[in-house]
Amino acid sequence: MKNITTKITLFILLAVIVASCNLTSRVPEGKHLLEKNVITVNKEKKNDEEHYLQLFQQENSNILGFHLRLHMYNLAKPNPDSLYHLWLDRKPGRHKTLTFLLSEKQVNRLGHSFVVSGISNFLKKTGEPPVIVDLARVKKSKNRLYAYYYKQGYFRAKASYTIDTVSSKKAIIKYEVVTGKPYIVDSIDVKIQTPALDSLYRRSKADAVLKNGRQYREADFAAERERISNYFKNHGVWKFDPTYIRYSVDTVNTNYRANVDMFIDNENVRTEDSVYVRPFKIYKISKVEIQVNNPYEPNAEVNTTVYNGFTILTNGKLRYKPRALTDPIFITPGSTYSDIRRTRTSRYLSNLKIFASPILINYEEDKADSTGTSLIAKVRLNPKKNYRFNIAADLNHNSIQDFGVQGTMGVTFLNVFRGAETLTLSTRGNIGSSKDSSIKDKAFFNILEYGADAKLSIPRVWFPVNTERIIPKEMLPSTLVSLGVGRQKNIGLDKENLTGVLSYNWTPDRRRTAKFDLWNLQYIRNVNAGNYFNVYRSSYARLNTIANSYTGINQEYFDEFHNLSGSGVYSFINDVLATNTGTSITDADFLEVRRLEERRRRLTENNLIWASNFTYTLSTQEGITDNNFYNFKVKGESAGGLLSLVAPLIKENKNVPVGQRTLFDVQYSQYLKGEVDFIKHWDLRHRRVLAMRAFFGLAVPYGNSNSIPFTRSYFAGGSNDNRAWQSYGLGPGRSGSINDFNEANMKISFSTELRYNIFGKLNGAVFGDLGNIWNIFDDETDPAYTFNGISSLRDLALGTGTGFRYDFNFFVFRFDVGFKTYDPARLTGDRWFKGYNFGSSVLNFGINYPF
């Protein structure tokens, strides 16, 4: 206790010393460090980012109130090379001695070396110079705040500032804005020179952003200009852009009313030597040409194929089915010109991933049309190579192997069936070295894992029935068919794995995606189920402890060290369950042995899972730099429903009750599963982000199953979950995570993380993770494991901690330290902060952010 108190005291003293460092040591005399900006609008303080972005000067960045980068800058020597020369000339013989040992040139260069200047240069570059109050920038900030409100219709707003010095070298700038009454849009008079555009405008007027009776906002004028322009361009008006739309606003003596005149001019047409004006035209598409370059026959004659009104041009042989080229084209002959169709076409063709970028789509007037209102659309495609090889290798180390070499090798075929399909065939393998005593093979590389996969991607819905009305091609539908096999040797139970998936994907709009697995098949066969107790050592240890606590147990079950032998452990279990041990076993020990045996049977049995699932995702994220968004994902899955209808008709299930029915002598799984995942990010300015994630999942066995397969159950802990516990090391409930791999069929988790920039590409975070897993609606009855209503929420585990992230641009390396803040496995009243120390902490390494 004395040592802990001493450490805490030293830490507090160090924090006080660092915090008391002089922030103004580099502030010149007569100048002031900007300590804080205060913005007041109509006597109300504003702290939102939008207001502070108007200011030309922001205070120095801080991490939870501590100005780390400013301190680093202050620690640097202002002119280390000059100080070096002063040191050099302080003693006449010093310069002479160094010149004798080196040379004059090298002595001078030494002043710019890392030894002399490197640390200071690093501190300056990484740190942040003090923000000095600049009167010119303060005035510009005031004017920008005024302009900000002026653009919102406060034409009579007033802005001012005051500079309050809080010490000899620190100041607070206070900006004050008095807005006055806003102007309201009164009348809107629209004057359109081209009659055809006037008709289009009146058809779309109901969707106008700019409406009378609303407060004047400059953003509404820009949005209305963009809306009208997009509407025209998507309804036949070629070469229209927002610059043809002008506004005139009258606010003179109108009693806070703004009268708006909107003008839409005629088209300006440029020729070689002149410019003239004419009314806009409504264009139609007379012809669509798809020009496909054939790289294998560059000098061949151009062949023409007409398909469904499209003209396909290619040099030499056409290597695609015509439909594969016309399906992605939304621009159709006879249709009205629409710019959005060009966007959709480009997006669809890019999504195929068989054509090289850029994909060019151009229009030109059809000279054969005397009215001059027809366009020819030309789509130019350059196919990629028909195949590409993929080879990768890596060295690894994990809990299974001390050293391993893994690799993948595959080949991808493009346009494999001439319908723009993509086929990928790949193999994977891993050889490793393990010192596990249960492995009889004593060679250096004594564990092996290998497999093969085949994936076929089809750029349409592959289904016997036409689904165009349900999932139109605007949603970019695709089908994925995949098959995979895998095999393990000397790894756990030596699993053999067979997977098969038929999946449909589509995008209703840019924010929403949908995925439907019509069938998702997984067959798992445990080749070496007898190795169970060598893998799940905690189960063996508890059985061994129970067996050694009784004197009447058959001694043939033990080895020379009086531990249960490989066969003895099974004999002991059978005797206990058959009440044939020759001694009295307590009820608690009997139930524990029965539970351990049920878990062994569950984890060693072969699994057949035939499921269907649907996933819907909604995201408001505009790009990778957007830090103010949310993601919502919901998933539903059903397994075994179809098999439950087929199984009774199979001979092997004749007179077999529900719960024991099989397919190919393997009991199939039957369950319902649902998940909800929500992620929200808030941008807090100055490169600070508050991120939150909430997750709920529940899988309910029924019919032929009384538990969920291990591969479809939930676990807690790990670098992307509750970071104060290892993966599979938390739960279920308050049980204490006594198994080697703890899992259950219900999960609740909530995480929040404050991310901030330290300097450069190094970022930090503080986080809190709340969650646990439970058994519910299955064969588990122990109340320590099961969810028993609201009272079980007391078993939610809380982990808190801190971490660092380094941004390598293409990925983020993450390191987190998690501390057990509230541990439900401990006794009630002894759960808070008992594991809050470095000895009980968990180190987490990961790639990219956890959510």
Give pLDDT tens digits for 327-346: 999 999 999 999 999 999 99
- What is the share, in percent, of the chain residues with pLDDT greater than 70? 91
Longest dimension (CA), the chain: 112
Q: How far apart are CA 250 and CA 261, in angstroms?
A: 8
Cα–Cα distances (Å) from 414 to 66, 313, 319, 389, 730, in that order, read: 55, 20, 11, 12, 46
Mean pLDDT calculated for residue range 34-62 = 91
Residue 828 pLDDT exceeds 80: yes
Greater model confidence, 741 or 268: 268
Residue 80 pLDDT exceeds 80: no
The single residue listed with the structure tokens 């966007």 is 343
Which pLDDT score, from 0 to 100, does residue 374 have? 96
Mean pLDDT calculated for residue range 807-822 = 92
- What is the share, in percent, of the chain residues with pLDDT greater than 90? 65
Contacts 24+ apart (CB under 8 A), 818-823: 818/722, 818/723, 818/724, 818/725, 818/767, 818/769, 818/842, 818/844, 819/724, 820/724, 820/725, 821/724, 821/768, 822/796, 822/797, 822/798, 823/797
Torsion of CA 635, 674, 619, 506, to 10 degrees: 10
Which pLDDT score, from 0 to 100, does residue 226 have? 96
Q: Could you read off the pLDDT of 771-797 as tens digits, one per residue?
A: 999 999 998 888 999 999 999 999 999
E strand segments, 527-560: none
DSSP reduced 3-state for 389:
strand
DSSP 419-458: SS-EEEEEEEEEEEE---TT----SSS-EEEEEEEEEEEE
Tokens of 16: 């006080």
Tokens of 272: 């070689």
Which pLDDT score, from 0 to 100, does residue 836 have? 87
Mean pLDDT calculated for residue range 203-225 = 95
What is the three-state SS of 715-781?
A: CCCCCCCCCCCCCCCCCCCCCCCCCCCCCECEEEEEEEEEEEEEECCEEEEEEEEEEEEEECCCCCC
Residue 13 pLDDT exceeds 50: no
Task: Tell me which of 283-297, 367-381, 389-403, 565-579 is least confident.
Answer: 389-403
Greater model confidence, 637 or 108: 637
From the list 660, 526, 542, the residue with the least C-alpha distance to 595 is 542
Greater model confidence, 349 or 405: 349
Residue 655 pLDDT exceeds 90: no
Q: How far apart are CA 229 and CA 237, in angstroms?
A: 9
Most confidently predicted of 78-87, 385-394, 512-521, 653-662: 512-521
What are the phi and psi torsion angles at 198 (to 5°)? -60, -40
Q: Could you read off the pLDDT of 721-734 as tens digits, one per residue?
A: 999 999 999 999 99
Which pLDDT score, from 0 to 100, does residue 6 have? 45
Q: How far apart are CA 767 and CA 243, in angstroms?
A: 49
